[in-house]
Amino acid sequence: GANAAATVKAFAEAEAYDGPAIIIAYSHCIAHGFDMVQGLEQQKLAVETGHFPLYRYHPDLAAEGKNPLQLDSKAPTQSFAETAVQENRFKQLLKLNPNADAMLKKAEAGFRSNFDMLQALANLPQK
């Protein structure tokens, strides 16, 4: 996906973990309304806007005194509200709903708040 190293690490950790593991991945589709050739760029944009943060949770790290939550993406650097219009699903929302701009800005604020929470959890000291 958006970060090849983080993707490979997530798969390797999931495979090596002695127990159930799940990988949640963003997958673009034609219904998003952009040229599928641009899929990787849109995946990166989803991470850069905070729409899809990259993180891993590895329970075994707690036994080593490390935080099991590992945040692989940086704080959002792009505006979701400004970049969402690259996808027809959001363009249509803006055309049809007079509150759409406010909704996109509210979503962006939520993404940033979620990232801040993930970052705070990932920085908690471990015993």
Q: How confident is the model at residue 1 (pLDDT cuts 50, 70, 90)?
A: confident
Q: Are 7 and 55 in contact (CB under 8 A)?
A: no
The reply to whether 73 falls in a domain is yes
pLDDT at 127 over 80: no
The answer to whether position 127 is within a domain reads: no
105 torsion bin: left (phi>0), alpha (psi -120 to 50), beta (else)? alpha
pLDDT one-digit tens code per residue, 60-119? 999 999 999 999 999 999 999 999 999 999 999 999 999 999 999 999 999 999 999 999
Q: State how many domains the chain has.
A: 1
Q: Would you place residue 126 in the very low, low, confident or very high pLDDT band (cuts 50, 70, 90)?
A: confident
Question: Which residues span the domain enclosing 33?
Answer: 4-122
